[in-house]
Amino acid sequence: MRKANLWKALLTVVLLAAAVWQLIPTFKLQGLTETQKAEMPREELNRIYTKAIQLGLDLKGGMHLVMEINRQGLAKAMGREPSEITEKEISDATDRALEIIRNRVDQFGVAEPSIQKQGSDRIVVQLPGVDKDRARGLIGTTALLEFKLVQEDRLTMEVLDKIDKALLSDKTRKTASDSSMLGLEDKPFSALLAPTGSELMVMEQDKRLVEKLLADPLVIAAIPPDYQFLWGEKSSGENFRGYPLYMMKKQPEITGASLAEARMGVGTADNPGGLYVDFVLVRQAANLFSRVTAANVKRRLAIVLDGVVKSAPVIQERIPNGRGQITMGTSSNPDQAKDLAIILRAGALPAPVEIIEERSVGPSLGQDSINNGLKATLIGGLAVVLFMIIYYNLAGLVATLALTFNIVMLLAVMAAFRFTLTLPGIAGIALTVGMAVDANVLIFERIREELRAGKTVRAAIEAGYERAFSTIFDSNVTTTAAAAALLFFGTGPIKGFAVSLIIGLAVSMFTAIVVTRLIFEWMTVKWNLEKLPI
């Protein structure tokens, strides 16, 4: 064997060995059952997932969300009117929201997420292999954390009395409720509120009515402009189910922007199995927190998340270390507590986001797509192999070996560079098979022409490859240019198709020009062929 061919042979063997080694984690992962995955140590399973070929949303299942920045919410956060917000400010808010969402998703541990900005005010998120409800809650929650002092009972009662008088001043108004607490005609609002300990409780059936009254202009005018009423989470007792209502200042003492850390925990003083989220404030905020708690001992400090009071513990003493705890509801599960810790660590969105488009793919549908895609590729590949062997004889067998090498190399490159395999990506692989065969057909037909012209086998092979090279090169370059356009200007699945096609074209060039020629030259030397079955 010539020295040049020896180097080509060594390179081919090394590439094939490296490709097989790169695909071992993928084969290993596909061979694991769900039970084996559950029993395997988490670190080892994550290591296999990291090195294996990643599956896209359409194959693994998951969520596709398109979210839009709420312009009114952004204007409110900036203390301005919606018409005063510029497009640049909207774009900047979208950029900040994108980074916060990316941080949340990274901490959540989603493999191969796709998070992209679309236009000036939209974000497209694709999360393979996640539960849709958790994904929606994790991404769509604004997570605005505030610490507000609950006002003393005396001031609250004075405000309730003003509200009652304001409602009574309107003789045309008729307040009605199914609540058993009613019966006081001179207290149309406060009669809907039942004091339970240090809280005002609204019965579940009266919540909508109270919300309607709080939005009434007369009630709004009766509430001091610096104060507001906020709802707590649903509470249940022996004889009631309702929602606590708190009056507090609009201006928070501290916000979640001062948060340094947040972690989920289990076991509270009242409930050994209760869930909570511990948080730690940065040093500057911890000093402020210490002064606030020292000045308000025996008062309630509400922990407010997105306008809902998560808990309102009584300050028993000064808290010097900037540490606190958010107690989860009795119906909460560990995933909800973990997600709350994640979104608090990642920070609050600059403005509320609205989900304007949502698509979900179930794991079973994804598996069906994989099976159908592989079936189509195998059937198409088998048809091509049979045609090549029948029509080109020994040369067809060589092309089949090169085709196998081509697919192995393509998948290995995708695994090595952590490309995501999608259903269009499988279509790209199938197209690559056709392109690789097309190159071999061009070469074989050239070799046939040279043999008919009376050349020897070795001379015909050499001339056939040299004359077919320019045609094959031009064909692959033009197809690669089209695929590159899809890669740069396309999104989502279109990129998956373009990636697999570009890699496949590069590998098929190598197999068609180098590998098959190497095999032909080895056969002519090894067997001293005077005729080539082609």
Which two tokens mark 392? 């080109």
Position 512 scores a pLDDT of 84
At residue 73, the 3 state secondary structure works out as helix
Position 334 scores a pLDDT of 78
Strand partners, 255: 146
Position 181 scores a pLDDT of 41
Higher pLDDT, 299 or 2: 299
CA atoms within 13 A on the CB side of 531: 2
List b or e across 353-391, with b for residues whose CB sees 16 or more CB atoms inside 10 angstroms. Answer: beeeeeebbeeeebeebbeebeeebeeebeebbeebbee
pLDDT one-digit tens code per residue, 228-277: 999 888 877 666 788 888 888 888 888 877 777 788 888 766 666 778 78
Q: For the residues 499-505, what does the mean pLDDT come to?
A: 87
Least confident of 59-73, 242-256, 344-358, 378-392: 344-358
Alpha helices, DSSP H only, in 109-145? 132-140
Q: For the residues 156-166, what does the mean pLDDT come to?
A: 87
CA 232 to chain centroid, in Å, comes to 30
Domains of the chain: 3-22+363-527 (1.20.1640.10), 62-142 (3.30.70.3220), 147-348 (3.30.1360.200)
**DSSP line for 7-35:** HHHHHHHHHHHHHHHHHHHHHHHHH--HH
Q: For the residues 359-387, what does the mean pLDDT come to?
A: 74
> Would you place residue 109 in the very low, low, confident or very high pLDDT band (cuts 50, 70, 90)?
low
pTM of the model: 0.55
Q: SS3 letters for 177-194?
A: CCCCCCCCCCCCCHHHEE
Closest C-alpha among 153, 164, 172, 170 to residue 191:
164
Least confident of 56-65, 174-183, 287-296: 174-183
Highest mean pLDDT among 5-9, 271-275, 501-505: 501-505
Position 50 scores a pLDDT of 77
Query: What is the residue-averaged pLDDT of the chain?
Result: 80
Residue 245's φ and ψ, nearest 5 degrees, are: -125, 130
